[in-house]
Each structure stands twice: as structure tokens, then as C-alpha cells.
Structure 1
Amino acid sequence: MPRKGMRSIFFKPSPSPSTSTSSLPPPSPLRTFSDSLMEENIQTAHSLIIKWDDSNVTTTLFSGTRQEAKQYLNAVKGLQSAMQYLVAQDSSSATLVRAQFLMQLAMKTLQKEFYQILSSNRDHLDPESVSTRSSIDFRSSFSDYVSDYDDEITVSEDDFRVSETERVSMLAMEDLKAIADCMIASGYGKECVKVYIIMRKSIVDEALYHLGVEKLSFPQVQKMDWEVIELKIKSWLKAIKVAVGTLFHGERILCDHVFASNSGKRIAESCFAEITRDGALSLFGFPEMVAKYKKTPEKMFKILDLYEAISDRWTQIESIFSFESTSVIRSQAVTSMVKLGEAVRTMLTDFETAIQKDSSKKTVPGGGVHPLTRYVMNYLTFLADYSGVLVDIIPDLPQSPLPETYYRSPMREENAPVSELSERIAWLILVVLCKLDGKAEHYKDVALSYLFLANNMQYVVLKVRRSNLGLLLGEEWLAKHESKVREYVSKYERVGWSKVFASLPENPAAEVTAEQARAYFVRFDAVFHETCRKQSSWAVPDPKLREEIKGSIGSKLVQKYNEFYEKNRVGSKPVRDFLPENIGKYLSNILCGNIGDSGSVSSYSSSTTSSSSRSNRR
């Protein structure tokens, strides 16, 4: 395009003396085409830069249509080219000094515009809005839309659907990118970065503050009551979702976009690191301090909540903080996971030790479920809900002292991903079952000992079958322990009802005298009612198992008594006219005693249930 045509687009002479071209040095007598072109670049830049440097300007360069903003940026680029040309020709020329002065004015204006855009678009540049779009998709879909920085460009609804908020956000991001590219290319990247870091860091820090993220030291945490720490953990679990999924993610996208040029990539890294480092370190440092807090088994589930929250987001954390300058943030997140894992292993070991050291000789009235059984199985049930992270933690635990054949399922696959976790849980159940064997010996009645073992084994089986423990331990384990329940029930029946069965002749159909038959009836009546009276205080908390036991005893007893009754009822009248069908009525009163109290937790009144926040933290 002829130079005259170029002037008609970029340059309008100002009547002001201060902006008159007469103030510029006269042209050299030996001017080349390059000289003329560079002079024209300076004149064009002079006109626009002085215009927008005027203190009476009430609007901002980027507040209207983007046409003049684009002209301004192009003029600055032209000025930069002219300066480079002049330096090569004569580094001390007055024209170069003038160009340098104009460049300083331009950078001052652009710095002010950069700040203004960041400040006035806080709501449109919030991380939540930005994080909904990836930077790659954003650049590809919007590049044509704002190709000329023209607000008035229209796009068909089918081609590009954006809300007004998204449109303003996109324009602001493009404006910031255009200014940053220009300032960095002109050698004024530091001024641009300074404004950007101050503005965006304040937004990130404010957001983290509202999320409840605090900069705490370990002595501060150590002095807190656990109840206070629990509240902070609950707040932290919500904070990490927003911080990683929205805040840091959106900030990374915005930073990458604004400083997307080749020369700005390292600047993007340093900006993002400076903006997020303090807040991210406070966020990811909190779990490490909790992990160092005094450890008890009841704190296990909060520790696992923290571990899981980081583990589930690790891929995203690694992606967001992928810069070398943010490696300290990645390291802090990893350190917290390591310390949390160590805390979990310590608490599991302490949990097992606590079971093994239990020396209580107090029996449960009626042979019901022991508090230790309830405590351990409730604990393990909650633990199974964290199998996804426990498989990463469990392998470093010490091996159990007994041979694997005591607790390992022979059918389990060698490389099953959860086999080590399954075996650890199976081992812990074995430990408590061994303790229950010892506690059964404290009952004076052998039959009640077997009933106690049946009740507790049934409780274990039901807890496993109705929870994720069943998935970890498998059907073979369940079948094996269900058979143990039947075995204990069989021994209870044999011992507990042996006198009743022995009160009748071994062969109930054999011939006996009327006097002998009468004696059998009297003895059966006495022993049967005494056994029912005694076992009315015994308990089988599981209603299904209770009815199965009653049914089993009743069917065997009715069969034998009915045969003897039919054979001898004519010659010798049964005591109290005791009929075979009455047996079931009397049996209905057994094994119901203390059912409501058998599950009470005395010394094991643990806060396990309340301490697991898994159902409440989502």
C-alpha cells in the first residue's frame, strides 16, 4: 500500500504544537526506503501514543471497539521495529531518543490498561468461569471470533454459542493476551508481570481464605483439640475440591492463555508459581500436620479421608502444577500422602495390638455378641469403604506372625490387586476370633460357650456379607465361616439339650412297663422345663439364626418324644398331659433373653461410627 494510503489509516495530524510533525528532526538528505518506513512508523506511533497519554482521556483504550486498540498495538510494534533499526544505524540519534520516550509512554498506557482490564473483570475472570474451558479449546474456538478485536462481529448461533458473561470473559482474556504479548516483545515484561501477579494473587488468596484454608504451623495444630481438627478437616475436604478442580485449574488456564506467546511461556510459569505457591503449600501442607497429630485408631477414617482426597486428585494436581517452579507444591502433596500413609499403618498396627492385649474376663449375659466383636467389625466395615486407597498403603505393613494358611484363601489369585488388603482384614478378623475363643472359656456352662461363639461368628459373617468386606474376602471365606456357625450351633444343641434327649429311652419305640414309661414322662417333663427355663435367659440376637436353632431343636425333640408318647400314652398318662405339639410353644420362649442389651458397648464405647465421616463428607 502507498505510504499516503497507510497514513490515511494510521495517522491523523494533530493541530497541537506538541504533536506537530514539525517537532521531529528534518529528514536526512540520503534517505532510503527503510528510513522513510521507519520514520512513518514513528509518526504513526507518536500520534496514537500521545493521544492516549493525554490526562484528559476519560475512556480506556480497550473499553470500546477493538479497532483502535489493534491500531495502537500495531503502532507500538512498528515503533519497536523503528527503534531496532535506529540502534543499528546510529544509537545516539535524537530520533532514537524520541522513539524511546514514546515507547515509555506507550508502556505506561498499556500497563494501566492491563491493570484496568484485570480489575474491572474480576467477576468475568474468576477461576470458576475460566476453568470450564480448556485453554486449547478456548484459543481454537475464539481466535476467529475476536480476530480483529471487534465487539461488533456477529457469529451465527449454530457456529458459536456463548453467553454474554462468557463473551466478556473471552474478550478480556484476549485483551490481556494482546497487551502482554506487546509489552513482553517490547522488553517491558517485568512491568506487565508485576501487575498480573499482584492482581491475580490477591484473588487466589482471597478465595482460599473464604474456603477456610489457613497457614498453620504444626505447634498450632498440636495444641488443638481433636474435635477442632475434625472441623478443619471437614472444611479442608470441601476446600480441596474447589481449589484443585476450579481455583488452581482456572488460574493455570488463564495464565497459560495470557502469556501464550513463545517468549511468554517462561513468564507464564513464573507468574503461576508466584500466584499459587503460598496458598497451595498451605492447602497441601495441612494433611501432613494432621498426620503427625497424636494417633489413635478412632482417627483412622479422617486420615484416610485426607489421603483419598489427595490421591483421587493427584493426576489433576500433577497436571496443574507441572512446571519445574511448582515442583515444591507437588512435593508437598506427595509428602502429605506419605505421612498420611505412615499414620494409617501405625494406627492399623495399634488397632491389632489393642485387640491382642484385650484381657477382659467379663462375659456377655446370655452369650450374646461381645462388644469387642461389634467394635472390631464396625471398624473393619468402615475400613473396607476405603479399599481403593488402602491397597496403596497396606503393602508396607509388617507380615502377620502366623502361616498364611490360617487366613489366606487358597483360591485367591496370586496377583489380585486387593489380595494384600483382603489378607490383612482376614488376619484382623482371625485375631478377634481367637480372642473370642478365650472369652468363651469364661462361661461356666459349656453349651452357653458354644452359643456365644455361634452368635459372634454369625455377627462377623453378617457384617462381612452386608458390606464391602464381602467383596474383599470373597464367597469362599464366607462359606468357611458360615460352616463354623453351623458347627458351633450343632455343639450347643448337643451339649445344651443332651439331658433332655437322654431323659427319654434311646429307642423310644421299645417296649417298657407303665411304671417305667411314667418315670420317663416325669423325668422328661422336669428336664425339659428346667432347660427351657435356663435358656430363656440366653440370647441369639439374630432372629433368623434364633428361629433356625429353635426349629432344629424342636423337630428332633418332637420326633423322639412323639414316638415315645404315641407308644405309651394309653398305659401311662403323661405328666400334666404334656403333648408333643406343646414342645414348640415352650421352645418359643428360649434364646430371647437380654437381646436388647447383648450388643451394648461398655469399655469399647468407641467413636468409630461417628469418626468415620465418609457418608457425611460428600
Structure 2
Amino acid sequence: MGAAVGKPAFGLADAPRTHAEERLAVAEHALLQWTRSPGADSGVWDADASYTNRGLLAAVDDVLLLAEEDPFPLPGASSARRRLGSAVGAAASRMVEEFLRVRVWDASPLRVAVDGLALASSGASLLVFPSAGDGTSAATSGGQADASDGTRSSRASSGVPDEVAALLEGEVWDELHLVRPAGVSVLHEIALRMVRAGCTKDLFRAFPNAPCDVLDRFLSILRVECSQRTTEAVIKRWTTVAKIIGKAIVAMRRQLHAQSPGAFDSFRDEYLLAIAENRILILLEFADGFTSITSHEKLVYMLGMYEALSDAAPSLLLLFSGARKELVAERTQEILTKLAGAMKIMVSGVVAKVRGDCPRAPGAAGGVHPLARDAMTCVQLLARHRTTLDLILAGGGGERDAAALVAELIAGLERNLQGKLALACADAGGSRHLFLANNVSFILNRAADAGGVASLLGGAWAARRRGRLAQHVASYVESSWGPAVALLETPACGRGKPAKILAEFNAAFTRARDSEVCRQVPDPALRAAMRNAVSGMVVPAYCAFLQKHPKLGSSVRYTADDVAESLSELFEGEGADGRK
């Protein structure tokens, strides 16, 4: 765009009378035409740092050169000096606009990871005690998501794509070219002119709003998900994005410093830190939006958010100094404090849930109760965050830590199982003991499967539960099979002939067998132990009776082997042998 003939810009009433005034008028006109085309692609450089109008840059340079030459020193030239000052301000303003247009950062190497994170399924649910309407079971996610030793998981959420996992684990940042050298060259050009204009403060004020696709692409995922996904999905994505942004800023700083030197070098740290501060504060605002959540179902997600923020904070704060560092540190601590307060409420909700919840009758045929599954899933998930739980629960002088919380949850569960839930069994004898044996075994196994839980509870805790389990097994065998065996061991005096006693036993044994074969013992080890215990009571007594009465002959319906084989089919659950 060249100079046009006509009225001079910026309020000129007379035509230029000197060469300097004529140069100023031409530059003014070019700058004014530029100002009248907001949003049009008529800048000096396009977004890809290519020249689109060198004439505009020439106008800026001529205005700055005139200001350096000071061609209007005489008192009568005050109007021209004012015009020149306005032109310098306009030129600086145009340079700021150019600064906000140019693309310095290239997110294309991250496209696959960004798309993968945006589209990835939310993975296994980590809800603590999901409601029936959620369509998910905490039991399906607990223990099977990954075997935990009580340390923090290296990934923020389950089911993240491989490309995202690589970013989280820091494997690929040195291979990603995130900075555009052509864009940095434009920054040098702009900085040179802003220094000449004496308007570097105006440039500094623009730094926080500078485009940065590398960070903004990930933040955009949160903006979309806040309106389209569940709270759990957003928290999980936030946790992932927070970790990635922390690593990305470090990589961006390293790559920016590796570029060819120029006029922007003295500004580049302030520039990058302003971008980082702006995006981190946006990230913190997202986190602040979740601090009002107190539903205990979200506890595990909130722990992940707390850990992501507390883990990223030290490395992020190393980037800052002075007032900027103080602002980010204070805001971060404010969010952490609010998150901790919300999670204390959630912990109390989890404890109350385990202590008081009896939503359903015992599982099929005295199996593992859903509350036991949900509670142990909760325990396993919380054990992974024991360090964070210790920190949160100790705040404010609290005496509870992660170990105490886990022990309290399991103790509340056991009281619930032994009290209200056990009473719902069909009888107060064998069914109750079978139900308790199943659930004690389940608790033991889940605690052992998760190393973090076992280490929190200690060996003495497990030994006591194994003792209880043995007692429940023995009580079950005595209640359910003892009456039939007692028929063989009671003296025959007054009860009739041995054949009649055998017939009574056969009837009692058949009833017990038909009833107990449909009982469910999900754990293979416990099922084998209970079969052995039953067989150990019944088969020797039966053998002894047959040996004592060898003349029974055709009255013997079952051989000892038949009885043993029949007992080997116990505890398969409903549908065993086609029954029920």
C-alpha cells in the first residue's frame, strides 16, 4: 500500500512545506490506512511470519528515523513535533498488533497427542461408591486398573493414548520442534523497532496475550469438556493437561534460548514467563472451579488433581521470580488449601458411607456383598494416594493419617457385615458363617493384592483376619453338616436299626448337599478349603459307620467315594448341576 495524494493524516490542515514534513505525511497516511483495516490480512507479516506488505514496515521505519533525526527543533514546529509523536505512538501500536499476529510456537508436532487426549475414552471409572445410575461399578476399576504398590501412578488417568503417556513421562520433548525460527526472527524485528520507539513497556503489556498454540491446544480441551463431559472426565483431563503444560514450558524455554540471537533476546524470558503465567493462572481457575465439590464419589479424582498441582508447582515456580513467582505461588497454595478442605469433607463422607450403608441383601447365595466390593475398591484406590492423604489429613492438627483411615474404613465395613447384613441371611447358622467367610476372605485377598493396603495395615491385621476366617469356616461346617454327621455318631439305642439310621443320614445328607451346592464361594482357594473341611467332617464319620455295620448291604445308597465326590461339587453357586 503506497502513499496516496490527498489530505494528510492525523489532522493536517496544510500541505507539507519541508522534506521532513512530506516524509511524515506519507508515513502518516500509510499508518492511517493500516488502522482503517482492522482484522484484514494487511499487516507487515502474516501469521506464518512471511512479509505481506513491506511498504507498511518502511512507513514505520521512516517515522522512527524521523524521530531519531529530530527534524523539527524550531519553536514554530510544535505542531509537526506533536504529529511526529502521534505517528511514533501509532507505529508502536502497529508493531504490538504485529506481535499478537505472528505465530512463534508450532503445535503441529503435538497434534496426535492433543487429538488423542480430546477423543480418548474416560477409561475405567474411579468413582468411590458410584450410584446405581452411573452404569459403572467401582469394583470393575479397583484392583484391575493396575497393581499398585502404594506409590503414585505415573499416569494421570487410565486409558491415556500412548502419545500422551510419552508426554507425561518426558520421553519425547527433546524430539519435538515447538518453536518456529521464522516467527522468532519477526520478534527480533519488532523488538528492534519498539526499542527505537521507546515503547518497550507497551510490548511487555502484550506478552501475556501472545498466541501460544503449544499450550492453548491443551487448554482448549478443558474448555470443550467443561460443557460436554462429566465432572470426572474433566478432572482427569485437567490432571493430565497440568502435567503436560509444566513439561511443555520447560521445553519451550530451552528451545527459545537455542534460536539465533537478536534484539528480542533481552525480552525473551519475560515474554515466555508472561505466557506461562497467563496459562497457569487459567489452569488454576479451572482447578478452583472444582474446589466446591464435596461429593465423596469424586475423592480419588480430586486426589489426582491435588497431586498433579502439587507435583508441578515446584518446577513451575522455578521459572518465575519476584512478584510473578509470588503471585503464582500464592494462587497455587490457595487452590491446594481449598482442595484439601473439600477432600476432608469427602473423606468423612466415605467413612459415613461404609459405616451406615446397607443398600442390598447379601450377594447370591451368601457370596461377597456389593458394599464389600465397593469399600475395598475405595481402600485400594486411596492407598495409592497415601502420601497425599497423610498431608491432607494432618492439616489443621488432625490425628488421622492414611493408615488410620484405611483401618477405619475396613473396621466400619466389618461391623456392617457382621451386624445388619449378616442378619439378612436365610438363617442364623450356616448361611451367616458362609457369608462372613466369603467377605472376610474377599477383604483379605483385596488387601493382599494391593501392596499399598497390606503395608498400611500390617501383618498383625492380616493374621487376625485369617484367624476369623478359620473360625467362620469351622462354624459353617458345624452348623450346616454337623446335624447330619451327628445322626451317625449318636448311639443307636432307642433310635432303631442301623438301616433306619443310615436312611435318616441319607435324607439329611441329601438335603444339605442340595442346599449347599448352590451356595457361592467365589474365591477358589477358600472354596477348596471349605470343601476339604466339609469332607473332613463327613467322610470319616460315614466310613466309620459303614465299617461298624458291615451287614447293611443293599441299604447303603452311597459309598464313601460317592459322598466324597458329591462334596467336591459344593459352592459352585446357583445353576450347579442344573439345579435352580
TM-score (norm 1): 0.59
Change (3 A) 1:301 1:258: farther
Give per-residue Cα distances to partners, 1:365-387, cap 9 Å, x unaligned: 53222222122122222333333
- SS of structure 1 residue aligned to 2:281: helix
Q: 2:252 aligns with which of 222, 225, 250?
A: 250
The structure whose Rg is larger is 1
Q: 1:579 aligns with which of 547, 555, 559?
A: 559
- SS of structure 2 residue aligned to 1:213: helix
The 1-side partners of 2:85 and 2:182 are apart by 25
The 2-side partners of 1:582 and 1:321 are apart by 80
In the TM superposition, what are the counterparts of 1:81-100 in structure 2 within 5 Å? none
In the TM superposition, what are the counterparts of 1:187-586 in structure 2 within 5 Å? 187-193=198-204, 196-197=206-207, 200=210, 207=217, 210-213=220-223, 228-246=230-248, 250=252, 269=270, 275=275, 279-293=279-293, 295-358=294-357, 362=361, 364=363, 366-396=365-395, 398-399=398-399, 420-439=401-420, 440-443=422-425, 444-467=427-450, 468-505=452-489, 517-569=498-550, 571-573=551-553, 575-586=555-566
Give per-residue Cα distances to partners, 1:547-598, cap 9 Å, x unaligned: 22112221342223223323422x33363442111112332453334489xx
The 1-side partners of 2:525 and 2:301 are apart by 35
Deviation, structure 1 residue 448: 2.0
The 1-side partners of 2:184 and 2:276 are apart by 19
Deviation, structure 1 residue 352: 1.2
Report the more deviating stretch, 106-115 or 380-389. 106-115
Change (3 A) 1:260 1:568: farther
The 2-side partners of 1:63 and 1:358 are apart by 67
- SS of structure 1 residue aligned to 2:210: helix
Contact preservation (8 Å) 1:377, 1:463: yes
- SS of structure 2 residue aligned to 1:324: helix
- SS of structure 1 residue aligned to 2:560: coil
Q: Counterpart in 2 of 1:591?
A: 571
Deviation, structure 1 residue 105: 8.8
The aligned amino acid for 2:309 is: I
Give per-residue Cα distances to partners, 1:305-357, cap 9 Å, x unaligned: 32233123222332344441353333232222222222222111112122323
The 2-side partners of 1:492 and 1:164 are apart by 64
Change (3 A) 1:343 1:114: closer
Change (3 A) 1:206 1:285: closer
Change (3 A) 1:117 1:438: closer
Contact preservation (8 Å) 2:317, 2:328: no
Change (3 A) 1:202 1:382: closer
Give per-residue Cα distances to partners, 1:374-422, cap 9 Å, x unaligned: 221222223333335333223348557xxxxxxxxxxxxxxxxxxx312
The aligned amino acid for 1:580 is: A
Q: Counterpart in 2 of 1:169?
A: 180
Give per-residue Cα distances to partners, 1:502-538, cap 9 Å, x unaligned: 222379xxx9999754354334323322322332343
- SS of structure 1 residue aligned to 2:290: helix
- SS of structure 1 residue aligned to 2:488: coil
The 2-side partners of 1:101 and 1:227 are apart by 55
The aligned amino acid for 1:352 is: V
The 2-side partners of 1:506 and 1:260 are apart by 104
Report the more deviating stretch, 99-108 or 274-283. 99-108
TM-score (norm 2): 0.63
The 1-side partners of 2:210 and 2:260 are apart by 12
Contact preservation (8 Å) 2:434, 2:476: yes
Deviation, structure 1 residue 456: 0.7
- SS of structure 2 residue aligned to 1:540: coil
The 1-side partners of 2:463 and 2:523 are apart by 18
- SS of structure 1 residue aligned to 2:318: helix
Contact preservation (8 Å) 2:367, 2:439: yes
Q: Does 1:180 align with 2:164?
A: no
Change (3 A) 1:101 1:361: closer
Contact preservation (8 Å) 1:204, 1:275: no
Change (3 A) 1:587 1:564: same
The 2-side partners of 1:248 and 1:464 are apart by 40
Change (3 A) 1:116 1:181: closer
- SS of structure 1 residue aligned to 2:409: helix
Contact preservation (8 Å) 1:447, 1:492: yes
The 2-side partners of 1:199 and 1:539 are apart by 64
Contact preservation (8 Å) 1:369, 1:456: yes
Deviation, structure 1 residue 455: 0.7
Change (3 A) 1:373 1:398: farther
Deviation, structure 1 residue 434: 1.4
Contact preservation (8 Å) 2:383, 2:402: no
The aligned amino acid for 2:248 is: T
The 2-side partners of 1:164 and 1:581 are apart by 71
Deviation, structure 1 residue 546: 1.6
Structure 2 residues without counterparts, runs of 5 or longer: 1-17, 32-41, 52-56, 111-173
The aligned amino acid for 2:475 is: K
Matched residue count: 470
Contact preservation (8 Å) 1:260, 1:268: no
In the TM superposition, what are the counterparts of 1:12-51 in structure 2 within 5 Å? none
The 2-side partners of 1:264 and 1:445 are apart by 82
Percent identical among aligned pairs is 20
